[in-house]
Structure 1
Amino acid sequence: MSGVTHSTTSSADVVLPCLDEAAALPWVLRRIPAGWRAVVVDNGSTDGSADVARSLGATVVHEPRRGFGAACHAGLLAATADFVCFCDCDASLDPGLLPGLLAAVRDGTADLVLGRRRPRGAGAWPSHARLGNLALAHMVRRRTGLPLRDLGPLRVARREALLELGLADRRSGYPLEMVVRAAEAGWRVRETDIPYLPRTGASKVTGTWRGTWHAVRDMRAVLREGAAR
């Protein structure tokens, strides 16, 4: 069984942005690859998520500023391993798949690997969220030339290289900004299929039309800013 380690010399650090995910954390943390470190970034949970994560062996970082990007970047700053992975903390994505994504970065054939979500099970990917993602992926293809079909949150890159990108968005645009900045820097970006499962609990971002609209708005702002530079 995979487990969580506190070692600062782990093969990779897995950043898990977390807002009220106590119910999903046991499933997620049990699937962290052996020898890897889980960095759970608590973004203001009120359900005891931080205590659950700590009891299961994860490193817990507290980020008081609300926002998906704020949590992701706090985790990146807290990471110490050469490779950093990002994964949602709601049990919709299996972190046990990360070694397969990491392999291409480790062997030098890719600089950033994204998991392309392939829904499994009813309700795994609501239609409004999927449509929003398709629209954004189309804009990214036009903006960067990268043949991406998803802006999946399961991803892997080298820590120092990520820090050098100077990511500034602290809301929902953070994942898209990472891809745009990587493309501008000449990174080799690869996409690989992964299963996308029904999440545990209610989504804070794309579970509603309103949440999806806010995410699309944030990401479109990132694309506009990038085009203006």
Structure 2
Amino acid sequence: MKNPIIDVIIPAYNEERSIGKVIDDIPQHVVRHIIVCDNNSSDGTGQVAEDHGAVVVHAVKKGYGNACLTGMEYLKNLKQSPDILVFIDGDYSDFPEQLPQVVNPIIDRDVDMVIGSRALGHQERGAMEPHQRFGNWLATYLIRKFYGYHFTDLGPFRAIKWRKLIALNMQDTNYGWTVEMQVKAAKQKLKTTEVAVNYRPRIGVSKVSGTIKGSVLAGQKIIWTIFKYL
């Protein structure tokens, strides 16, 4: 793939303290558009994102998947679709400057999807709670057992060919977005790989792992999604 068009989607809910840092650290010479999907934030997330040069679209219905789907709808309406779409969180827990490493397997080796694996990279102290580590291990073990695909993480930092993503027909509107993508990629026999990415404690409190309710609901949805598509 020569000189691909690369766009970035950042789902964001109340991330005004971090979203500017994420945008600023993305290697802007590599990407065409940075799309911040403001998931009905009650703070200044959208304005900060605009001030830092991102395109802001408003996802009125809350939910991680809803935000991502809203960003994809925006891209579908452009005259020229991207060749590669990158997803990254807006809480500054990922290292946006590693974007070239995440997309390179698609460009150089014609891989269809790349997962940025926090399990393979360096994690700063406190970046992931024990229940997050266990949940990732369990989910990736079940995917390997039932679908025959080896992943080490359900990390949010990932890249995928646009046409392959459209073919996945993504549906999940909240916690199951990342695992749905990986399970469907396995079912459609996409060529996938992982690259090591670093991870640090997020800015602010996680809407999922930061609460017992969020962690339980996310865990249930992830496991349910894995078995749903068998």
Normalising to structure 1: TM-score of the pair?
Answer: 0.91
The percentage of aligned residue pairs carrying the same residue is 33
Task: Give the conservation status (yes or no) of the 8 Å contact 1:129–1:207.
Answer: no
Aligned residues: 219
Please, which moves more after superposition, 88-97 or 74-83? 74-83
Aligned partners of 1:97, 1:221: CA distance in 2, in Å? 31
Give the deviation of 1:159 after TM superposition: 1.1
Aligned ranges for residues 88-127 of structure 1 at < 5 Å? 88-117=89-118, 118-127=121-130
Aligned partners of 1:210, 1:164: CA distance in 2, in Å? 33
- Is the counterpart of residue 30 in structure 1 residue 33 in structure 2? no
CA shift in 2, pair 1:81/1:109, >3 Å: closer
Aligned partners of 1:25, 1:10: CA distance in 2, in Å? 25
Q: For 1:120, give the aligned amino acid.
A: Q
Match of 1:18 among 12, 18, 22: 12
RMSD: 1.6
Aligned ranges for residues 1-229 of structure 1 at < 5 Å? 11-35=5-29, 36=31, 37-79=33-75, 80-117=81-118, 118-227=121-230
Task: Give the conservation status (yes or no) of the 8 Å contact 1:132–1:212.
Answer: no
Give the deviation of 1:182 after TM superposition: 0.8
Aligned partners of 2:71, 2:190: CA distance in 1, in Å? 22
Aligned partners of 1:10, 1:48: CA distance in 2, in Å? 32
Aligned partners of 2:229, 2:4: CA distance in 1, in Å? 34
Task: Give the conservation status (yes or no) of the 8 Å contact 1:119–1:125.
Answer: no
CA shift in 2, pair 1:10/1:26, >3 Å: farther
SS in 1 for 2:219: helix
Aligned partners of 1:202, 1:122: CA distance in 2, in Å? 16
Aligned partners of 1:107, 1:120: CA distance in 2, in Å? 27
SS in 1 for 2:117: strand
Q: For 1:166, give the aligned amino acid.
A: N
Once the two structures are superposed, residues 100-153 of structure 1 have per-residue CA deviations (whole angstroms, 9 ceiling, x without a partner) of 111111234411000111453221111111111211111111122111111111
Give the deviation of 1:155 after TM superposition: 0.4
Unmatched runs of 5 consecutive residues or more in structure 1: 1-8
Aligned partners of 2:91, 2:163: CA distance in 1, in Å? 27
CA shift in 2, pair 1:141/1:164, >3 Å: same
SS in 1 for 2:229: helix
Aligned partners of 1:205, 1:109: CA distance in 2, in Å? 34
Normalising to structure 2: TM-score of the pair?
Answer: 0.90
Aligned partners of 1:143, 1:71: CA distance in 2, in Å? 29
Once the two structures are superposed, residues 4-30 of structure 1 have per-residue CA deviations (whole angstroms, 9 ceiling, x without a partner) of xxxxx9831111000000000121011
SS in 2 for 1:169: coil
Give the deviation of 1:76 after TM superposition: 2.1
Aligned partners of 2:146, 2:218: CA distance in 1, in Å? 18
Aligned partners of 1:152, 1:206: CA distance in 2, in Å? 13
Aligned partners of 1:61, 1:143: CA distance in 2, in Å? 37
Q: For 1:59, give the aligned amino acid.
A: V
